[in-house]
Structure 1
């Protein structure tokens, strides 16, 4: 019986490891190879403070979690500031360094001998010193850690993680601080792995380097993939299968001389068959309504006038100059993409930005929205200089943009695409998720109503629970408009929002964009379709070779002989 109880204890430990790793890989889309290192940090921190300092529970556990989380931030912060790909390299190096330190710092870690005599949970009169008694602690620890993972995954923060996983630039363009989100989820993943390490040390009363090699990280990764990335129940199932299956195969009678090798072959064949017929894992990531975690009745029909009310709340004086840029320049090596570029965007007016391919239009948008820093020039929003601000802070200040290739969160529902863009959500704050849950839940209900109002404005409310990838092309364009509107920004920059649409569809979308301007938004549109420019724009800026060559009404620019020769003919 103790043998089977031991297997259950190990399943609990690996359920913690797989769930916390899935939080990082499946939900946030961050690939790291250091999970076993944080597992080791939790185990060794517990062993050291209990054997050398004699600290009572729960101090060793808290120290282990804090130490692993701090170390995760130390390695993730520099790697993620450069590029997510560097995280793989840095985390692998960290895994190797941790093992080398453990093996060579004998005075602290016991070196190759490890640390023995780690006290069990309990007191002088009783102790969790058997698999059956320890299973209670392991199950409680696993339940708590999985609850934390689930709480994160099904919060507004978790929704933002999934948006970041799909497209980082798009998530940043709706106001999400990508770096903070990455570091936060990495710290949580590492801290939860340390919980498993602390339980490991207490259970075995011994820790040694051989239990925390890179093979252990790959083993945990296999659990995540087998169970299904982006699904916490899948992580538990994957842990149960990979822990229990080798043990169960020991009960299969095989020829003695080749039994061990045959068991490995059977084990591998079973895993290959599972992944062959279930390539997304046994429990794939839920989609649509199930992923959004929105119960029946959570989404009420939108008030037909709610969209206009939402826009009116942010309206200002018509004609007011909201965004001013002057003398902007940007060079990439020896190539000058933009030089001496200036533009004015006024509340209630639609400005067109036109020019041939390669003229620098998208670069100009990137400069205005913080995705590129200008080499020279000035950008002012309501009189405040914003040229050095990050994209997510510019969205908060009131400048939002779309992308030429749409960059919707295609695996998320229509309403989730809008919800993730709503500003100032308390659920984006980890502390509020855990310590102010009722406030977050109440605000989420209000946000759903706001999101439905936005969708009603663009006439997509009937598609609220449809997965974005199932929309028609015209509906995807409208969802881009809805997502920008949800940010609450006063300045909206659209990169070819109407390209590829037929005339009938254009006539359906034109009123939506006009209403945005009529309700006080300052709008700038990059567009190649001159009929769209003539139909929508009040002012047009002609950009060529990175320089604003002329500004005026559409009719004035089309009657300019030089511009007509360069572009309009």
Structure 2
């Protein structure tokens, strides 16, 4: 029985590691190879504080969590600038550095000899000095860590993580703070890994560098992939299979001289079969209604929806967003030169010009995705130069993209809910200190999202995955997502491209109604019929400069502009 309890303890440790790693890989889409190093930090911190300083429980555990969380910021900060294989290299470097410090700082870590004599948990005369007894602590640790991860992922913060995973620029464009989310998820994942490390040190009464190599990270990653990325239960299942299966294979009757090799072959074949027939993992990520953690049939007061859709101005058209003498240079190339534009409430402004004129660059400048080389941008008379995109959304400026950038693996209603402003559940402290407030607001937000979907006539598609929508429906979802931000200035990059006349007749009134409600709208569009049919004022941009400003009819009748446009 002691052997079974020992395997159960190992399962608990690896389930904690797989759950914490799944937060990074599955939910946040951040692929890092330093998880074993953070596991080691938890183990060594506990070992040093208990053997050298004799600190009692729970001080070593808390210190392990905090130290690993702080160290994880070393990964999070460069992760804001790099991604993909660059992030892998950065995190792998941390893994190497941590192990080298452990091996070479002999006076603190014991070097290659490690640290032995780590005391186990004891409460009075009751010591957890057997696998059966220690299993109690391991199960409590797993339960606590799983609950923390579950609380995070089944919340507005978890939904924001998935949006960031889908597309970072789109997440910023709806007001999500990418810096906060990356730093938070790295720190929490590291803290949970440190819990497993602290338990490891207490259970084995010994820590050594050999237990925390890069192979451990790969082993944990295999658990996540096998069980299912983006699914916490899948991570636990993957840990159970990879910990228990090798032990079960030891009981197969085989010739002694080939037993070890045959077990490895069988083990590999089982894993390959799972990956071939279930590439998404045994328990794939939840989708549709299952991914929502509150009911979505609540009703919201129509007045609340109207308040979100209405601009902050009265019936008089006023200048809301203004860019003056904007210039943007990329090295020796000038993309924008002396460009000025004013967006007014209750009006739809068109931005036209030939391909390569700098229209999208102008949008990037106005919405904070690029910083102008020269010029000034004011929102209601106050400068917004240097503000990050998510700060501009909170201030009242939101934009779409030419390539849509929807969160395609999320549902239609999730695409809208994630963009709603001032969500208490985006702050981790609120998830644990104010859970009832977060849940009540989430219920209100889902009802509000349904009202917005009704406004664009997509309420019937609320629980379908965005990837399953038609192209026209995707365009409407882009509009709905921008509306959810509550911004009074909405910038649409080619919202009508690729649509037939029937669909145009459905979408154009939506934009017109938004303008009537007080929004300041600007659209980039190549379809001149759309420009003439919906725009109140048009800016003609060419060679990065404002060539002309006027009504659509005035600009269309100018032969010089027509020659430039069609050249």
TM-score relative to the length of structure 1: 0.98
Q: How far apart are the structure 2 equivalents of 1:412 and 1:404?
A: 20
CA 1:473–1:446: 2 relative to 1, 3 Å: same
SS of the residue aligned with 2:236? helix
SS of the residue aligned with 2:375? strand
Paired residues of 2:430 and 2:438 also in contact (CA < 8 A): yes
Shift of 1:313: 6.7
SS of the residue aligned with 1:255? coil
Q: Are 2:340 and 1:342 equivalent residues in the alignment?
A: yes
Moved more, 84-93 or 60-69: 84-93
Question: Residue 126 of structure 2 corresponds to which residue in structure 1?
Answer: 126
Paired residues of 2:294 and 2:439 also in contact (CA < 8 A): no
Q: Which runs of 5+ in 2 are unaligned?
A: none
Q: How far apart are the structure 1 equivalents of 2:313 and 2:13?
A: 55
What are the within-5 Å matches in structure 2 for residues 68-83 of structure 1? Answer: 68-83=68-83
CA 1:360–1:280: 2 relative to 1, 3 Å: same
Question: Residue 155 of structure 2 corresponds to which residue in structure 1?
Answer: 155
Question: Residue 186 of structure 1 corresponds to which residue in structure 2?
Answer: 186
CA 1:118–1:5: 2 relative to 1, 3 Å: same
The CA deviation string for residues 475-522 of structure 1, in whole angstroms up to 9 with x for no partner, is 111110010011010100000001111111111111110010000100
Shift of 1:450: 1.5
Q: How far apart are the structure 2 equivalents of 1:16 and 1:332?
A: 47
CA 1:225–1:309: 2 relative to 1, 3 Å: same
Shift of 1:302: 6.2
SS of the residue aligned with 2:339? strand
Shift of 1:309: 4.5
What are the within-5 Å matches in structure 2 for residues 163-562 of structure 1? Answer: 163-295=163-295, 298-300=296-298, 307-312=305-310, 314-562=312-560
Q: How far apart are the structure 2 equivalents of 1:226 and 1:42?
A: 25
Shift of 1:301: 5.6
Shift of 1:174: 0.3
Shift of 1:82: 4.4
Q: How far apart are the structure 2 equivalents of 1:395 and 1:357?
A: 27
Q: How far apart are the structure 1 equivalents of 2:542 and 2:122?
A: 76
Shift of 1:43: 0.2
Shift of 1:116: 0.7
SS of the residue aligned with 1:55? coil
Shift of 1:308: 3.5
Shift of 1:312: 3.2
Shift of 1:336: 1.0
Paired residues of 1:426 and 1:432 also in contact (CA < 8 A): yes
Q: Which runs of 5+ in 1 are unaligned?
A: none
Shift of 1:292: 2.3
Shift of 1:428: 0.3
Shift of 1:69: 0.2
Q: How far apart are the structure 1 equivalents of 2:341 and 2:324?
A: 7
CA 1:182–1:84: 2 relative to 1, 3 Å: farther
Q: How far apart are the structure 2 equivalents of 1:124 and 1:486?
A: 57
Question: Residue 565 of structure 1 corresponds to which residue in structure 2?
Answer: 563
SS of the residue aligned with 1:337? strand
Question: Residue 45 of structure 1 corresponds to which residue in structure 2?
Answer: 45
Paired residues of 1:47 and 1:207 also in contact (CA < 8 A): yes
Shift of 1:382: 0.4
Aligned residues: 567
Q: How far apart are the structure 2 equivalents of 1:300 and 1:183?
A: 34
Paired residues of 1:302 and 1:461 also in contact (CA < 8 A): no
Q: How far apart are the structure 1 equivalents of 2:306 and 2:78?
A: 44
Question: Residue 116 of structure 1 corresponds to which residue in structure 2?
Answer: 116
TM-score relative to the length of structure 2: 0.98
Shift of 1:101: 0.7
Shift of 1:311: 2.1
Shift of 1:459: 1.3
The CA deviation string for residues 263-291 of structure 1, in whole angstroms up to 9 with x for no partner, is 11111111111111111111111111112
Moved more, 491-500 or 470-479: 470-479
Shift of 1:470: 1.3
Shift of 1:300: 3.2
Paired residues of 2:13 and 2:200 also in contact (CA < 8 A): yes
